[in-house]
Amino acid sequence: GQNIDQPTEMTATEGAIVQINCTYQTSGFNGLFWYQQHAGEAPTFLSYNVLDGLEEKGRFSSFLSRSKGYSYLLLKELQMKDSASYLCAVREAGGFKTIFGAGTRLFVKA
Amino acid sequence: SAVISQKPSRDICQRGTSLTIQCQVDSQVTMMFWYRQQPGQSLTLIATANQGSEATYESGFVIDKFPISRPNLTFSTLTVSNMSPEDSSIYLCSVVQGNTEAFFGQGTRLTVV
């Protein structure tokens, strides 16, 4: 079966660091993605992990542990504009089909 | 990155009618997908649009309700047939180039009354 779990909501303070966790159980694995989605807009790509370890891209970092079926997205130096939904998504093995988690709605407060 | 033009951006339709959504990409892409996003929820995959052959549908979605065409590597359509209020949702076209991340169209916000 397919199951992707992430927290429903999180709140953090401007300038702080927040970690959004994602656990998954899918039919095979060919990479994990994080997307950002502002209300009323399409998702935009943030990161891609296919091997274990940490990928850093500016204020955003993403970590993957395939043996644990676990990933997290780390956002540093939070800004108000980071208030959005963050979607964890897994690409299944053998193709390009991507399954999305329910998303984590992040609220950044002043 | 691929540039995707999805039309219409929004529509209000009467129940029992059908709406066809178009997705045009500015370059040839490996894969095209159609997703649905109901209010406050995440993306649910409807089907994979296969070039030159019938689409591959996910569990809970059938061709009679959501016929899909993909005549070439840059264009696809999704039709929502015999609509009911439960079909009110955002429909998103997604493409993959090579083995990279997926890019999304801006979505079609459908309201069925």
CA B77/CA B93 separation, integer angstroms: 9
A34 pLDDT higher than 80: yes
Residue-averaged pLDDT of chain A: 94
What's the pLDDT at B40?
A: 79
* Least confident piece of the model among A85-89, A93-97, B5-9, B58-62: A93-97
CA A78/CA B44 separation, integer angstroms: 29
Distance from CA of A110 to the nearest CA of B (A): 24
Nearest to B101 among A33, A41, A97 (CB): A33
Would an 8 Å CB–CB cutoff place B103 in contact with chain A? yes
Work out the average pLDDT over B33-56: 91
CA B84/CA B8 separation, integer angstroms: 18
Structure tokens at A48: 């891609």
What's the pLDDT at B84?
A: 97
Would an 8 Å CB–CB cutoff place B73 in contact with chain A? no
Would an 8 Å CB–CB cutoff place B45 in contact with chain A? yes
3-state SS assignment for residue A81: helix
Residue B25: which residues within 8 A CB-CB, separation 6 or more?
Answer: B2, B3, B4, B5, B32, B74, B75, B95
DSSP-derived secondary structure for B29-48? -SEEEEEEE-TT--EEEEEE
Would an 8 Å CB–CB cutoff place B106 in contact with chain A? yes
- Give percent above pLDDT 90 in chain A: 79
3-state SS assignment for residue A23: strand
CA B15/CA B84 separation, integer angstroms: 5
CA A40/CA A42 separation, integer angstroms: 7
What's the pLDDT at A2?
A: 76
